[in-house]
Amino acid sequence: MNNSREFYAATVEEAAEKASAALGIPRDRLDFEVLDQGSTGFLGIGARDARVLVRNTGTQADVPLSSDEEDRRLDHAGEGAVESPVEEGAQEALRLEPERMVEEDDVVIAEEAPEDLILAVDKFATALVDAMGIDATVDAHDAGDAIAVDVITKETGLFIGQKGETIDAIQYLLNVAVYKNRPFAKRIIVDSEGYRQRRIEAIQGMAHRTARRAVRERRPLSLPPMSAAERRVVHLFLQENPKVTTSSEGKDDARKVVVNPI
């Protein structure tokens, strides 16, 4: 029988104390291995619990997992999948992203960004990525209609996150932090390994297929709920199609683009 069990807490020491209390084994007699030192992350991004594996617990089989521990065990069971480290607060921040940055009818005036602004973006982005514990190279530059931040890393999946939640949260934080004490110049766009362009192309393909179907079936069709930035991609892409018009309907996370045949 494998008498081993994992425990989770904010720090390794807290996880060990938790194991000691749960198993009734004195702390100094606890035989455990540190699986993950854990991380506090940066502004809630990249935070994760410390994990310890307690060996030879003896009576461990008689000690049931708490519901919290069971949930965490299930979370780590699929280590191969990329889990988004974005906390609820960051996700809420994404829903409240400033409209001036993603407004569907926004018209961007391509003025050259000041050098000190570019340096500030590069410095903050580098600090943010370092704080997340991700080994990466950061390059911020003026891309004309936006300030582009390219992040090159072998941990692309972790950096982008599930459904792009992590990279979107990082982009939001950059915009908020950089423009907190300076006038807004142009949007800051964070990308890694061409993720943004691939996502745009995927949305455009979906919009094209939906438009063709709407015309063929002669009825309005809705796309899945999207962020304001993604809805803007659809509006701009289909505005060149003389056979359809687009509009946005719904509220908050349920807001989506409706394609109407003419």
Strand 244-249, strand 136-142: pairing: unpaired
**Confidence at residue 75, expressed as pLDDT on a 0 to 100 scale:** 41
Q: What is the pLDDT of residue 213?
A: 96
Question: What pairing do the DSSP bridges indicate for beta strands 32-36 and 50-55?
Answer: antiparallel
For residues 36 and 39, what is the distance between their CA atoms, to the nearest angstrom?
9
Full DSSP string of 114-125: PHHHHHHHHHHH
Q: Angle CA(101)–CA(104)–CA(147) in degrees, nearest 5?
A: 30
Phi (first) and psi of residue 135, to 5 degrees? -80, 110
Q: 């000041």: which residue's tokens?
A: 114
Q: Which domains does the chain have, with CATH numbers?
A: 4-77 (no CATH), 97-192 (3.30.300.20), 197-261 (3.30.1370.50)
pLDDT at position 107 is 42
Q: In what order do the strands lie in the sheet with 32-36?
A: 4-9, 50-55, 32-36
Mean pLDDT of each 10-residue bin along the chain, 262 residues long: 72 84 82 77 57 67 43 40 38 38 43 89 93 92 92 91 86 91 90 91 94 96 90 94 94 91 93
Q: How many other C-beta atoms can be found within 10 angstroms of the C-beta atom of residue 172? A: 23
Q: What is the residue type of 19?
A: A
Burial pattern 121-137, b for ≥16 Cβ within 10 A else e, equals bbebbbebbeebebebe
The answer to whether the beta carbons of residues 228 and 95 sit under 8 Å apart is no
What pLDDT does 254 receive?
Answer: 87
User: How many contiguous H segments (helices) and E segments (strands) does the chain have?
Assistant: 9, 9
Q: What is the pLDDT of residue 9?
A: 80
Amino acid 164: pLDDT: 84
Counting Cα atoms < 13 Å in the Cβ hemisphere of 208 gives: 7
Q: Output the pLDDT for position 248.
A: 93
CB 78 within 8 A of CB 157: no
Give every CB contact of residue 216 below 8 A, 6+ residues apart in sequence: none
For residue 187, the tally of other CB atoms under 10 A from its CB is: 21
pLDDT at 70: 42
